[in-house]
Amino acid sequence: MTPAVNSVVMLSQTFYPAMGGSEKQALSLSRSLAGRGLRVTVLTRQPGGLPAAEDMGGVLVRRLPVFGPRAVDSALFMLKSFFWLLAHRSEYDAVHVHLASSPAVAAVLAGRLTGRRTLVKLGGGRGVDEITLSMGTLLGRLKLAFFRAARPELLVMNGEVYDWLKGTKEFSGLRLRQFRNGVDTGRYTPPLYNEKINAKTALGLDNAALFLFVGRLSPEKRVKEFIEAWAELFSEEAAPPKARLLIVGDGPERAALERAVADLGLAGSVTLAGRKEDLLPYYQAADVFILPSISEGLSNSMLEAMACGVAVLASRVGGARDAIEPGVSGCLFDPLSRAELKACLRRHLADRGLALRMGEAARRTAVEKYSMARVTDDILRIYEGEV
């Protein structure tokens, strides 16, 4: 019988105040576990200006100093993580690694030597997942060979990647477990009708249907293609639809998106708001959350929008396929089919009540399946070998 887990190390190359999707999940899960009485230590790199040790609401953050170019920095963190896990073996029962990068090798090897349970979370959607990316480099292939030999438990965040790995002979020996991200359904809640109107007003918007994108502005998100479809839809209608598109985020595609909005004459209906720290006001103002990615893991932003009672319009890939019931909590489309995308948009423009009904269903799904409380229950059972 596996002994009870009373303490866990969260191993992550980057952590708060860096706040990408993986970092957000690591922070939220760490706090939730600490709230259940576990002793949680986060082991991460020490960027300049941050203390070597810090208590974050019951979560102890240990930062290991590194230096040099990226390759040297990564190698140093991997080695320091390995020796830290060996030296502190009496202080934890399990290690949870966020992303299967080089620190995962250190954790898995340390786990083999200490007998501590080790789980590794895989990131990314099909094609940009960590397994596929690792296959493209010599060091990555060596890492995968090590994983096949050591057989750590790998947490896969969406069914598309899980089914691919299960069905591929080369990876069939890996110990895979389909899991999911979680969302704080107490913080992210649906607004009342007057609160939604006030949220739109606070953002300088009228009561038009608001379509919202939140995320990194990178090519695989296909936001530019969505803008082009939006322009086509407006040009095909006899009267301009009463709808606004709000894009929140930053990234390498931002300049191209700004040019597209200007060239297509969409300044009146499309706004690029840039990166925002507090996303709750945007979710509360939104009617439909859009996720047009060609590949996706399990989007934190999508889960936060669902928890706020926002309908989802997403490409039929990755975690959206698992989370969204088509026609009930959202609309799914082929990411390469502009006709399917525009059909989904037209359904919402023709029936403003559709977003409300789908948003209510999305909220139920978020609470029943993706709440951080439910995810914490399940990860505790995994730590203790119960499931």
Q: Sorting pLDDT into bands at 50, 70 and 90, what band is 71?
A: confident
Q: Sorting pLDDT into bands at 50, 70 and 90, what band is 383?
A: very high
Which 3 state secondary structure label does DSSP give 264? coil
Range in 150-159, 252-261, 300-309 with the lowest mean pLDDT: 150-159
Q: Is the pLDDT of residue 125 over 90?
A: no
Enumerate helices (H) and strands (E) in the chain, giving the number of each.
15, 14
CATH of 193-370, one of 3.40.50.150, 3.20.20.70, 3.40.50.2000, 1.10.3720.10: 3.40.50.2000
Share of residues in the chain with pLDDT > 90 (%): 79
Which 3 state secondary structure label does DSSP give 262? helix
Phi, psi of 118 (to 5 degrees): -130, 125
Q: What CATH class is the domain 7-182+371-383? A: alpha beta
- What are the sequence ranges of the domains in the chain? 7-182+371-383, 193-370
Nearest to 270 by CA among 235, 313, 301, 227: 227
Query: What is the separation, in whole angstroms, between the first and last Cα of the chain?
Result: 12
Q: Sorting pLDDT into bands at 50, 70 and 90, what band is 1?
A: very low
Average pLDDT over residues 47-51: 89
Strand pairing category for 94-98 and 7-11: parallel
Nearest to 161 by CA among 151, 182, 176: 176
Q: What separation in angstroms does the CA of 156 have from each of 74, 169, 298, 312?
A: 23, 17, 10, 22
Q: Is the pLDDT of residue 2 over 60?
A: no
Measure the CA–CA gap between 51 and 66, rounded to whole angstroms.
13
Nearest to 58 by CA among 46, 42, 45: 42
Write out pLDDT tens, residues 171-229. 877 889 999 999 999 999 999 999 999 999 999 988 899 999 999 999 999 999 999 99
Write out pLDDT tens, residues 339-349. 999 999 999 99
- Alpha helix (H) residue ranges in the chain: 21-35, 70-87, 102-114, 130-134, 138-150, 159-167, 193-202, 223-236, 254-263, 280-285, 300-307, 318-323, 338-350, 352-365, 372-383
Whole-number pLDDT of residue 3: 60
Q: What separation in angstroms does the CA of 295 have from each of 56, 123, 351?
A: 33, 12, 29
Measure the CA–CA gap between 77 and 180, rounded to whole angstroms.
27
Which 3 state secondary structure label does DSSP give 242? coil
Asked whether this chain's domains 7-182+371-383 and 193-370 adopt the same fold, the reply is: yes
Nearest to 200 by CA among 230, 234, 229, 242: 242
Measure the CA–CA gap between 42 and 183, rounded to whole angstroms.
19
Q: Sorting pLDDT into bands at 50, 70 and 90, what band is 80?
A: very high
Average pLDDT over residues 43-61: 94
Q: Sorting pLDDT into bands at 50, 70 and 90, what band is 133?
A: confident
Average pLDDT over residues 41-66: 94
Residue 366 per-residue DSSP state: I
Which 3 state secondary structure label does DSSP give 100? coil
DSSP labels, 174-205: SEEEE----B-TTTS-PPPHHHHHHHHHHTT-
Measure the CA–CA gap between 295 and 161, rounded to whole angstroms.
10
Whole-number pLDDT of residue 387: 58
Average pLDDT over residues 47-57: 92
Q: Is the pLDDT of residue 248 over 90?
A: yes
Whole-number pLDDT of residue 238: 80
